[in-house]
Structure 1
Amino acid sequence: MTSGAVPRSVTTGEVCASGAKWMRIRFAELSLHGNDSVTLTGSASGTFTLTSAHWPGKAFHTRAFEGDCVRVTPRFADSASRYSIDYYQSSTRELAQATSTVAAVGDLCGSSCDQTAAVVKNLNAQALVLAGDNAYESGSLSEYRQRYDPNFGQFRSIVHPTPGNHEYKTSSAAGYFDYFGALAGERGKGYYSFDVGDWHFVALNSNISRTASSTQVAWLKKDLAASTKPCTAAYWHHPRFSRGDHGDNTSITPFFEALYNAKADLVVVGHDHNYQRFALSKPNGARDDANGVRQLLVGTGGRGFYSYDMNSAAVQEAGNADTFGVAKLTLTATGYRHDFVPVAGRTYTDTVSGKCHKATG
């Protein structure tokens, strides 16, 4: 993948990169009012219309459009509407061959997170997402420095953490926020979002208010509506569905409802110290192969094991309760492949693939 600068603010016309198979356009500014819009169309395929809901005041890269040019068509009635484009990403490889790798794991350090850190290093991932309980027993700053940092500190340039319940054994998760700083999002909130390729990732905090009327869920709905990406993943600590010791958690339903309604694709969680893969599900657990969200429970970062023998409202498709390992997410503009990668010396693996709900059109 290559990047290029757009030499002047584009008001209409095309942004091109000779020989490119696909392009993503970076908006330095987007401020649309009323019903004003900007439509982007790839010279080979793909179209998307930006509206006032899409990232006001925030620079962002759009989804990828196939071809060597993207046509920019504004439709303005309000004189206050404006935008500027300053960069693009492109590649001479076909879009279907353009992949990003994200590593995901929870419940880490623990006595054995040196083993899972080795797995993450071998994956050569562009991003590492953590599903909480990163430094036992209480997520204090000293535990982060003594247990987490010697093993996972090497991934600071790619890590995107969330806190677990053990972080909150230290008042207000102070050790967590002190250690990660700006990487953890706003202090006291701990929820934020970012993009990897054509995927939008949302980090949530399942240790603070998460009711349907909470500030966090209101933010989540707005964030999902603002994204221009065709694929969406979210992650936090407490699972909505689990056959492990902690069982299903209905208090997580507002997260799941917001994601389901926005046609999100993947959820990664921890808390139960095992691996569980669930079928595409509605927020109540009913299987929904057309529009459901797949939950991956990856509490296998290095803290020991819980069995799973409880009932769950959702359908567990695969699981393991005696193998440390990491989720490897291989992401494209239209879907994903998930592989459970075990630590050295263990043999359990699991693989599943899926298509993004909003990938077409």
Structure 2
Amino acid sequence: MRRATKLSAAAAGLAVLAVTGTAVAVGNRHGSDNDWPYAGHGVGAASYTLAAVGDIACEPDDPENSATPTSLKCGSPTLGGMSAEFATAKQATDMHPDVVALLGDEQYQVGKLTDFEQSFDQAWGGLKMLERPAPGNHEYYAYAKKGDNEAAQNGTGYFDYFNGHDQSGAPTTQGQAGDDTAANQGWYSYDLGNWHIVSLNAECDSDEFKHDCSTTDNGLLAQETQWLAHDLTTNQRPCTIAYWHQPTFSATTAATATVPASAPGAGGVEGAAADAWWKLLYQHRATLILNGHEHAYARLRPMNPAGQYDPAHGIPEFIIGSGGEALDTLAGTQGNYANPNVVTAQASAFGVMNFTLKPHGYSWDYKPVLAGPGFDASALQYSDSGSGSCN
């Protein structure tokens, strides 16, 4: 692991799983007296718990953010705020996960290192050694909306937080968030029992990607796509999960201004670019795709890369952007969603997904933990659970 600070003594004896491009530490319960979270499953375990969520931490109201409007910072009545991110962190902790998949936009508004330290880390820092993040637009892009004007960080704070840095502040180039180099901006894969799990970086409209969202030229996103093709080809495990931030298919009004919710690319240029990833994942019979970006929870039917229902070989998409920062508006109503592939959705409360990964299948259990601004406790009556098999 790259970041050696703040590690519990219980981290001693960690077993290291093989990872493409980095090392992932997961504990070994066999022969260990250590309790969770650092005493994980050993080889041959029957099942693993994967907690998954994105869009988590409000921007801290500190002197460094004095120019940010108060409506965009922790304490704003329109945001989930600290209470929401602490609630979702506790929910994830109570799952006793083996791994926590973070689906981007971990820290608002532009993901400075000090923002991560003053907000995200306050709530989610206790799970840090189990977190396997993907970046979102708020970690890469500038933010110039609603009276705010903050410069793009291009992943600097994100990598500094998850991968660490030296005493002079120079970032470490390899760690649990993947590589931070000119040739690799944090895409990586890791294995958990029979499951192969891939974390991707979709933030192609950034300086680091030279604002090039083509998957077929010689740019960075094309190189990432080539890496994904090779990673999937060499994978030997029967079950595969891939996750990145912007969804290819949408469930909310926020992402459907120019493209129908059921069409590839409703999430913007990043979602359109990720259409190439869908095609690769579909070709290799991936089991699940997870996204954030839309501040809601939604489960979509198994789909082919064109967004058509495909019960035989399609991939279900889960949007889990309910980590605590804010909530969006669903496109349509229950039973009449704008995207007919949306099976169920909610955008009135914050919550974390609990996946149980079994040798040849999985189950999911989503329950919100805190009602959003303007909603009462009835929002917590929502739940979604079920099971599926690996393709």
More strand by proportion, 1 or 2?
A: 1
What CA distance in whole angstroms lies between the structure 1 residues aligned with 2:324 and 2:358? 29
1:350 aligns with 2:384: yes
Select 2:362's aligned residue among 328, 336, 349.
Answer: 336
Shift of 1:137: 1.2
Paired letter, 1:120: A
Paired letter, 2:230: K
Instruction: Give the alignment's Cα RMSD to 1 decimal.
Output: 2.5
Paired letter, 2:242: A
Shift of 1:164: 0.5
| Structure-2-length-normalised TM-score | 0.66
Paired letter, 1:332: K
What CA distance in whole angstroms lies between the structure 1 residues aligned with 2:239 and 2:228? 15
Deviations 1:115-163 (A, max 9, x none): 1001001000000000100011110001000000011111111100011
What CA distance in whole angstroms lies between the structure 1 residues aligned with 2:44 and 2:361? 19
- The answer to whether the 8 Å contact 1:211/1:217 transfers is no
Shift of 1:251: 2.7
What CA distance in whole angstroms lies between the structure 2 residues aligned with 1:225 and 1:342? 37
Aligned to 1:178: 160
Deviations 1:192-233 (A, max 9, x none): 000111110000001025533200110001001111111000
The runs of at least 4 consecutive aligned structure 1 residues that moved more than 4 Å come to 55-60, 310-314
What CA distance in whole angstroms lies between the structure 1 residues aligned with 2:23 and 2:294? 37
SS of match in other structure, 1:166: helix
User: CA 1:59/1:177 → structure 2, altered by over 3 Å: closer, same or farther?
Assistant: closer
What CA distance in whole angstroms lies between the structure 1 residues aligned with 2:279 and 2:244? 15
Shift of 1:336: 0.7
SS of match in other structure, 2:197: strand
Aligned to 1:39: none
User: CA 1:171/1:119 → structure 2, altered by over 3 Å: closer, same or farther?
Assistant: same
Task: Determine what percentage of the aligned residue pairs are the same residue.
Answer: 34
Aligned to 1:125: 97
Q: Name which one, 1 or 2, has greater alpha-carbon Rg.
A: 1
1:295 aligns with 2:317: yes
- The answer to whether the 8 Å contact 1:241/1:312 transfers is no
SS of match in other structure, 1:224: helix
1:227 aligns with 2:226: no
Shift of 1:341: 2.5
Deviations 1:8-40 (A, max 9, x none): xxxxxxxxxxxxxxxxxx999xxxxxxxxxxxx
User: CA 1:236/1:312 → structure 2, altered by over 3 Å: closer, same or farther?
Assistant: farther
User: CA 1:141/1:306 → structure 2, altered by over 3 Å: closer, same or farther?
Assistant: same
- The answer to whether the 8 Å contact 1:272/1:299 transfers is yes
- The answer to whether the 8 Å contact 1:285/1:313 transfers is no
Select 1:306's aligned residue among 328, 334, 342.
Answer: 328
- The answer to whether the 8 Å contact 1:230/1:334 transfers is yes
- Aligned 1:1-361 pairs, distance under 5 A: 89-90=43-44, 98-110=46-58, 111=81, 112-168=84-140, 169=142, 170-181=152-163, 182-188=175-181, 189-208=185-204, 211-213=214-216, 214-244=222-252, 245-247=254-256, 248-249=266-267, 250-309=272-331, 315-343=341-369, 346-357=380-391
What CA distance in whole angstroms lies between the structure 1 residues aligned with 2:286 and 2:189? 14
SS of match in other structure, 2:156: helix
What CA distance in whole angstroms lies between the structure 2 residues aligned with 1:109 and 1:191? 22
Runs (5+) with no aligned partner, structure 2: 1-15, 25-41, 59-80, 143-151, 164-174, 205-211, 217-221, 257-265, 371-376
What CA distance in whole angstroms lies between the structure 1 residues aligned with 2:21 and 2:225? 21
Paired letter, 2:249: F
Count of aligned pairs between the two proteins:
273
Greater CA drift, 117-126 or 166-175:
166-175
Shift of 1:347: 2.3
- The answer to whether the 8 Å contact 2:21/2:179 transfers is no
- The answer to whether the 8 Å contact 1:286/1:314 transfers is no
What CA distance in whole angstroms lies between the structure 2 residues aligned with 1:308 and 1:183? 33
Shift of 1:190: 1.1
Runs (5+) with no aligned partner, structure 1: 1-25, 29-54, 61-87, 92-97
What CA distance in whole angstroms lies between the structure 2 residues aligned with 1:348 and 1:202? 29
- The answer to whether the 8 Å contact 1:210/1:254 transfers is no
Greater CA drift, 275-284 or 341-350:
341-350
Greater CA drift, 246-255 or 212-221:
246-255
SS of match in other structure, 1:296: strand
- The answer to whether the 8 Å contact 1:327/1:341 transfers is yes
Shift of 1:171: 2.6
